[in-house]
Structure 1
Amino acid sequence: MSKPALIGSAPDSWGVWYGDDPAQVPWQRFLDEVAGAGYTRIELGPYGYLPTDPSQLRDELDQRGLTVTAGTIFEHLHRKDSWETTWAGVSAVAGLTAAMGAQHVVVIPDFWRDPATGDVLEAAELTEQEWPAYARQIDRLAKAIRDEFGLQIQFHPHADSHVDTHQRVERFLAETDPDLVSLCLDTGHISYCDGDNLKLIQDYPERIGYVHLKQVDPQVMTKVRVEGLGFGEAVKLGAMCEPPRGIPAMPPILDALAALEHVELFAIVEQDLYPCEPDVPLPIATRTLEYLQSCGPLR
């Protein structure tokens, strides 16, 4: 029998990209509205946005009937001498995540292009020598998170990072230890980079450990590719759109995920909206939940 994905949402769907930014909705409003939209599960979002004191955060969540599915953090382990700075950020997130009773840390590779300005910061591709070195560092990170905090790493391929296209995702999976590293399949980012979500699910079922549900607008993506725009500018143009207005189609994705019986799978709605007006997210989040629940096996 198929297992339903466990639906949730994230601060990202409320236009939250940073731990502290006056352009973002206050965290109290996010918690009130995500619960009001009908969600019962959330991610922590950028560290420092929600309260980092476990007792305070637990009280705030309990008041609204919310639980945490994962923490989220960027890493930069492809760079030399980067372990200590990466671990400082990851361990803080992992500690709070574990204190909230969650089991996952979503780890995202850092950008090669500045998300705000579009400026190129470094080479867009890893070299043949850098790939295995990077994979060993990710394995090391996954093992440290597991051993110290009892959490599972969920690696999140991301636009404008070194693990973005379908081919690079496959290489990443080939280079990393399947016993340590699972994949956070972000349907929007895979489609943004012309990847095939269904094929990844089909070809690597045992590596899919977590999901971000989102869609991209094909018309906006045409402009992004023609003009060579960076991810931040693409988001401002509406690249990540409200389902069912974009791609990939959600019903086949949800059906394929439901067939993955090896894992209790969280499917988190995460629509990039930064920046956005404060009254924009709630109606979208409400409609999105209603739409997804009409598509397939979710609870």
Structure 2
Amino acid sequence: MTHSLRAAADRIAGAPISWGVCEVPGWGFQLPPDRVLEQMREVGLVATEFGPDGFLPEQPAAKAQTLAAHRLAAVGQFVPVVLHRRDHDPEPEVRQAIDGLLAAGASTVVLAAATGTEGYDQRPELDLDSWNLLLSNLNRLVAVIRAAGLTPAVHPHVGTMVESGDEVQRVLDGSDIGICLDTGHLLIGGGDPVALATEHPDRIAHVHLKDVNAALAGQVRSGAVAYAAAVADGLYVPLGAGDVDVAAIVRALEQNGYQGWYVLEQDAVLSGDPATDPNAADPLDDVRTSIAFIRSTVAALPGNTEGAQ
């Protein structure tokens, strides 16, 4: 199955992490929300994920109003929750996220299997009982999310309990939740994002498009370099400038009927405010490069008859 260029191009969204906005303490300089949202519209993005807690107003109606004021649609929210511990119930956190997503007209709850500690540099090893609990909690949350009319997806993410290709396979086998195909995190964790897109396109519910420096990714995977330090050193690069075959992934998904969002995510760590610090990199430059790449990629999809928009 193929889709027109307009259909694919209209499903390109942004994420605050591309502007260095992150929930991890000490991550880097945090740009103000108004500037990030204004720049999203400036570069032609039509929608965004919510970003970390505190980036948008806490109250659901205020979240919706803030995005509407910037003429941005809501896509979804990254919701890291602990799934593997019997002393923690993740459902209240997910229900709170659902309230905000419904108010803003968003579609997707992007779950991550959090470790229960800050940051993404270390994670525990899970025994079989903990894995069974994680999968059971996923299935329970799937029912809650779908009952609210939203789409659930689990996000393989470095430094969480679902990181590697093998762990993604355990989720595919042990749950019916959709996968958020994060092309960067999956490669860093030792998975194959192209294979996941081509072999399990029916399980891809959401997509985060990243490109990665494979040499740095290997150092993170081996433990030689901490994740946050690697991000600051340029682990993520603009789409088309790294070692992920983003075009093959988009082509495989579109040909298999994917109708979801492509969220551009280039995790960034800012050293300062680019508006006042001449030595601070401006994330907007890389965002523009990634948008140009994905638009040219969808323009080249088989079956397209329209010119680039």
TM-score (normalizing by structure 2): 0.85
CA positional deviation for 1:278: 3.4
Letter in 2 for 1:187: T
Q: Which residue of 2 aligns with 1:259?
A: 255
Q: Which residue of 2 aligns with 1:2?
A: 2
Instruction: Answer with 186-195 or 54-63: which moved more.
Output: 54-63
Asked whether the 8 Å contact 1:113–1:230 carries over to 2, the reply is no
Letter in 1 for 2:292: E
Superposed, 1:161-240 pairs within 5 Å as 161-176=160-175, 178=176, 181-240=177-236
- Return 5+ residue gaps in structure 1 as ranges: none
CA positional deviation for 1:11: 0.7
Q: Which residue of 2 aligns with 1:62?
A: 68
Distance in 1 between residues matched to 2:55 and 2:117, nearest whole Å: 24
Higher relative contact order (CA 8 A, sep 6+): 1
Q: Which residue of 2 aligns with 1:18?
A: 23
> Which ranges of 4 or more aligned residues in structure 1 deviate by more than 6 Å?
19-22
Superposed CA offset, 1:169-196 (max 9, x none):
01111011x2xx1110000011112211
Letter in 1 for 2:39: E
- Return 5+ residue gaps in structure 2 as ranges: 275-281, 302-308
Letter in 1 for 2:98: A
Superposed, 1:3-152 pairs within 5 Å as 3=3, 4-5=7-8, 6-18=11-23, 23-83=29-89, 86-111=90-115, 114-115=118-119, 118=121, 120=122, 123=124, 125-147=125-147, 149-152=148-151
Asked whether the 8 Å contact 1:160–1:230 carries over to 2, the reply is no
Asked whether the 8 Å contact 1:191–1:247 carries over to 2, the reply is no
CA positional deviation for 1:33: 0.8
Q: Which residue of 1 aligns with 2:297?
A: 295
Letter in 1 for 2:127: T
Distance in 2 between residues matched to 1:55 and 1:36, nearest whole Å: 24
Distance in 1 between residues matched to 2:188 and 2:84, nearest whole Å: 22
Superposed CA offset, 1:119-140 (max 9, x none):
x4x52x3222222221011111
CA positional deviation for 1:81: 1.7
Letter in 2 for 1:266: W
CA positional deviation for 1:76: 0.5
Distance in 2 between residues matched to 1:222 and 1:234, nearest whole Å: 10
From 225, 237, 243, the counterpart of 2:239: 243
Distance in 2 between residues matched to 1:245 and 1:72, nearest whole Å: 25
Distance in 2 between residues matched to 1:252 and 1:282, nearest whole Å: 25
CA positional deviation for 1:211: 0.2
Superposed CA offset, 1:54-82 (max 9, x none):
44333332333210011221011111221
Asked whether the 8 Å contact 2:155–2:179 carries over to 1, the reply is yes
Letter in 2 for 1:211: V
Q: Provide the alpha-carbon RMSD of the alignment.
A: 2.3
Superposed CA offset, 1:187-221 (max 9, x none):
00111122111211222121101100001112322
Asked whether the 8 Å contact 1:112–1:162 carries over to 2, the reply is no
Q: What is the SS of the residue equivalent to 2:29?
A: coil
Q: What is the SS of the residue equivalent to 2:242?
A: coil
Distance in 2 between residues matched to 1:242 and 1:111, nearest whole Å: 28
CA positional deviation for 1:114: 4.9
Q: Which residue of 1 aligns with 2:279?
A: none
Letter in 1 for 2:235: A
Asked whether the 8 Å contact 1:47–1:93 carries over to 2, the reply is no
CA positional deviation for 1:266: 0.5
Superposed CA offset, 1:117-167 (max 9, x none):
x4x4x52x32222222210111111211222x2212111011122211111
